Structure 1
């Protein structure tokens, strides 16, 4: 048993250092995301969703780093990964819109100037009426894939996040209706 620790001491030390670095990075990113969420007055659920995405990315980076530290044969690993990614690629090709909406959800978290309770107008001819009048919507919730928008007549519209990045969006009334101002 003592020989195992002696033979692999470099790998064990590198593994321990990698785990410590990854935990510190996760802590720093989580703290930064929570701060951005608090400063921007964003919904707690959105903040937790972005923290989850960052944790998954850090975990993937950690697995890759540990694989390199322990000297897994890259040729064998490359064959396995290429096969797995080929299957996943074919499966995800049909689901490109989901990935697009998740990516848009992350972008909207950091750069979307509107929040839940704001009244907006989306300049989208597909949802405008016949006279090309654009309705206003109340943002009820922002999810990973879509937004819930409430029309004045009470109708609920589910609008994909990726379209919010592609269409012009105008702020009509910032949280006045919700707060009763």
Structure 2
């Protein structure tokens, strides 16, 4: 009986195995690329690990979506499922949109940020100018330490919105 079950699903099993192997190779390639970019840019290992988490989520989502199609889930069924899920998520995310904005900014900063941990920067804000050393760059915020020893937690999305001067590079 079990043999009859698997004989009717041979095509789906083969496609699933090929998809899983292809997506694992793709994930490995993306991680290798992120690691190379981090090495070239001399990024902190914590920032690189954060990118690895984002890559894992992206590849897992694509894998689940592809496997659902492989096993016969119709596009119309997926539309209902995803529209319901995205409606609930959309309502929840509307309330916390700044968190998504900070995560997106963190990803952008990983690939194109001209400064690193240890650099001295000046944030040109009319109301609250900040001159500090970068202690850490995290998923949501940047930790800055002023010359007075004050720790400032600055949101990543604000880093992309405000002009910032690089005062002194680490080790320079």
Aligned counterparts of 1:55 and 1:161: Cα–Cα separation in 2: 22
Q: TM-score, normalization: structure 2? A: 0.95
1:23 and 2:18 aligned: no
For structure 1, which runs of at least 5 residues remain unmatched after alignment?
129-134
For structure 2, which runs of at least 5 residues remain unmatched after alignment?
none
SS at match of 2:167: strand
**Corresponding residue of 1:115:** 116
SS at match of 1:124: coil
**Corresponding residue of 2:165:** 170
Aligned counterparts of 2:32 and 2:68: Cα–Cα separation in 1: 28
1:158 and 2:159 aligned: no
After superposing on structure 2, the runs of 4+ consecutive aligned residues of structure 1 that deviate more than 6 Å are: none
1:97 and 2:92 aligned: no
SS at match of 2:165: strand
SS at match of 1:172: strand
Aligned counterparts of 1:125 and 1:57: Cα–Cα separation in 2: 38
RMSD: 1.2
Report deviation, 1:124: 1.4
**Corresponding residue of 2:5:** 4
Q: How does 1:136-151 map to 2 (within 5 A)?
A: 136-151=131-146
Aligned counterparts of 2:160 and 2:32: Cα–Cα separation in 1: 26
Report deviation, 1:27: 0.8
Aligned counterparts of 1:14 and 1:170: Cα–Cα separation in 2: 52
Aligned counterparts of 1:126 and 1:76: Cα–Cα separation in 2: 52
Aligned counterparts of 1:76 and 1:36: Cα–Cα separation in 2: 39
**Corresponding residue of 2:70:** 69
Aligned counterparts of 2:162 and 2:149: Cα–Cα separation in 1: 23
Report deviation, 1:80: 2.4
Q: Number of matched residues? A: 171
Q: TM-score, normalization: structure 1? A: 0.90
Report deviation, 1:161: 0.4
Report deviation, 1:37: 0.9
